[in-house]
A and B are shown apart, each in its own frame.
Chain A
Amino acid sequence: MKEKLIEKTLMLLAFSAIGALLLMAIFIFKEGMPVIFKVGLGDFLFSTHWAPTKGYFGIFSMIVSSLFVTTGALIIGVPLALSCAITLAEFTPLRLMRILKPTIELLAGIPSVVYGFLGVVLLVPLIRDYLGGPGLSLLACSIILAIMILPTITSISIDAIQAVPYSYKEGSLALGATHWQTIRMVILKAARSGIITAIMLGMARAIGETMAVIMVAGNALKLPSSPLSPVRTLTSNIALEMGYAAGDHRAALFATGIVLFIFIMVFNVSANIITKRWRRE
């Protein structure tokens, strides 16, 4: 009897978490959908004219900016994170790694506003002085995000690499492969589903990051024409304008949230599918 009760209680608690997610999704959709129907899905997604107090709700440039910024962060961050993971897992003595890995994970604990502040004070002037433009730019944003996703990708990749059975490595070395060939052709192949998951998680963090992005991205509404252009992402659009928004403007911000929600869903689901497919092979 008591056992049953505890079981039921635990079940209830478990479902309350899912319930919260469900309520959130319903609320966002309920608040945001009417304005999408009002302006039309096509105009909402593919118009670049955003002037919510004057009745224009087009978020195309923000969608593009969000994708560019995330891609940029991956282009800069993934090679760094992967080489970091390979070095730590394969070439570093175990004792040194026990110190270095937590140090990298510490990076994940730094609040994003600190990254943003460092970006504004250090990175933005460098870009402005040496590359041109206002400094607040897609590039600055990508670099900051690359540093922010580094610990996630690195530490999950290390775990994935270490999970590869030692016999694979021994076998490869015994066949005459060099250490590098073994890493490239055996270990990375065997660990790839873990690495892909790591990258996907990093990507989700990058597209969802807000505070640091607002501080370094410049938030201009124009479609970016170069890496030095200022950009506004979906997340920063919501955070920037929610303060005073009312009526349709507020609803349009919720609608921006819907688009973001769908993006993150797509990322997570495709990460799951990719992982599963490679596990099966």
Chain B
Amino acid sequence: MIFLRLYLIFFFLIALLGCRPSNKEGVVITIAGSTSVQPFAEKLAEIYMEHHRGVIINVQGGGSTAGIRSVKGEAADIGTCSRELMEEEKDLKRIVIARDGIAIITHPKNKIQNLSLSQLRDIFAGRIRYWSELGWVHKRIHFVTREEGSGTRCGFEEMVMHDVPISDEALVEDSNGSVREIIAHDPHAIGYISYGIVDKWVNALSIDGVEPNLGTIKGKRYELTRPFLFVTKEEPHGLARDFIDFVLSPEGQKILEREGLVGIR
């Protein structure tokens, strides 16, 4: 008998737990969009949810364009985007939450400190094949790219390659970390990673004479800078407003900087 009673109590508890997120307005918001912003949005959402019990923030990927489409179709409350808005998207509200620089890295022994955007494009298109063409030793250039679908690759293709495809001779790695690992050990390699995870084992090149650092990325003087945007259909209100305020607050910005982005303040 006692077991039955315990079982019933247990059952009711489960049922109660199941009911917890009841249909209160505005307790759930959905964020969808860029896969580059996704990990940061997840981190922010996680910390925000720790502060606000009972609030649920769903973070989904899908890509910048898909994010904007889902905001327009009201499938998501906030869209994330890792590029500037296009002309026909300008009717949406746009909030810059952080900036990300794509750093071009080489081995510290590499004598080359500066590249122009077009030289960079020629390297990755397989048109410049030897370092001697850039004024260094006569060795093949080993260029490392990211896998198809990666947000960093997408940003690199938009800002550097334009419509030129990356050569199929490129080495392909599936994370910023393993790209850095290869460059750190191969004197003749070149690759691109998020500025936030550049360390002393690799050398970040200047592009068209501008060195990547917090200042040049914040001021958009460094060419390979992309904004991380939150996009909403109307002026955000309620929970979405509160979450965006949290992201823009000193605490939210500190989280983003700790995760490797460049804050906007």
Residues of A within 8 A of B (CB): 48, 50-53, 61, 120, 124-125, 128, 133-136, 214-215, 218-222, 230, 232, 239-241, 243-246, 249
- Contact at B174–A214, with CB atoms within 8 Å? yes
Interface string of B177-219 (1 = CB under 8 A from A): 0100110011011000000000000000000000000000000
Bound CA–CA A224/B202 (angstroms): 28
Contacts of B172 in A (CB 8 A): 218-221, 232, 240
User: Could you say which of A48, A50, A125, A136 has the most chain B C-beta atoms within 10 Å of its C-beta?
Assistant: A136
- Contact at B165–A51, with CB atoms within 8 Å? yes
Bound CA–CA A83/B238 (angstroms): 73
User: Could you say which of B35, B150, B165, B169 has the most chain A C-beta atoms within 10 Å of its C-beta?
Assistant: B169
Is B259 on the interface with A (CB-CB < 8 A)? no
Minimal beta-carbon separation of A265 from chain B (angstroms): 28
Bound CA–CA A232/B148 (angstroms): 13
Contacts of B181 in A (CB 8 A): 120
Contacts of B170 in A (CB 8 A): 220-221
Question: Which residue on B lies nearest to A218, using beta carbons?
Answer: B171
- Contact at A128–B174, with CB atoms within 8 Å? no
Minimal beta-carbon separation of A239 from chain B (angstroms): 8
- Contact at B62–A246, with CB atoms within 8 Å? yes
Is B84 on the interface with A (CB-CB < 8 A)? no
Choose among B62, B148, B151, B189 the residue that contacts A51 (Cβ–Cβ < 8 A). B148
Bound CA–CA A128/B168 (angstroms): 20
Total A-B Cβ pairs within 8 A: 67
Is B260 on the interface with A (CB-CB < 8 A)? no
- Contact at A134–B149, with CB atoms within 8 Å? no
Question: Which residue on B lies nearest to A223, using beta carbons?
Answer: B168
Is B142 on the interface with A (CB-CB < 8 A)? yes
The 21 listed contacts between A and B (C-beta, < 8 Å) are: A50-B168, A52-B148, A53-B148, A53-B149, A125-B185, A134-B140, A134-B142, A134-B171, A136-B171, A136-B182, A215-B178, A219-B173, A219-B174, A220-B168, A220-B171, A220-B172, A221-B170, A222-B168, A241-B148, A244-B35, A244-B151
Contacts of B148 in A (CB 8 A): 51-53, 241, 249
- Contact at A220–B149, with CB atoms within 8 Å? no
Is B236 on the interface with A (CB-CB < 8 A)? no
- Contact at A221–B168, with CB atoms within 8 Å? yes
Beyond the given pairs A52-B149, A222-B167, 12 more chain A to chain B contacts, judged by CB atoms under 8 angstroms and listed by A's residue number, are A128-B186, A134-B142, A134-B171, A136-B182, A219-B171, A221-B170, A240-B147, A243-B147, A244-B35, A244-B61, A244-B147, A249-B148
Contacts of B140 in A (CB 8 A): 133-134
Question: Which residue on B lies nearest to A215, using beta carbons?
Answer: B178
Bound CA–CA A232/B147 (angstroms): 11
Interface residues of B in 60-100 (CB under 8 A from A): 61-63
Minimal beta-carbon separation of A254 from chain B (angstroms): 15
Bound CA–CA A241/B63 (angstroms): 15
Bound CA–CA A239/B173 (angstroms): 11
Question: Which residue on B lies nearest to A132, using beta carbons?
Answer: B140
Contacts of A221 in B (CB 8 A): 168, 170, 172
Question: Which residue on A lies nearest to B178, using beta carbons?
Answer: A215
Choose among B61, B62, B169, B186 the residue that contacts A222 (Cβ–Cβ < 8 A). B169
Contacts of B151 in A (CB 8 A): 244
Contacts of A125 in B (CB 8 A): 185
Question: Which residue on A lies nearest to B172, using beta carbons?
Answer: A219
Question: Which residue on A lies nearest to B146, using beta carbons?
Answer: A240
Minimal beta-carbon separation of B88 from chain A (angstroms): 21
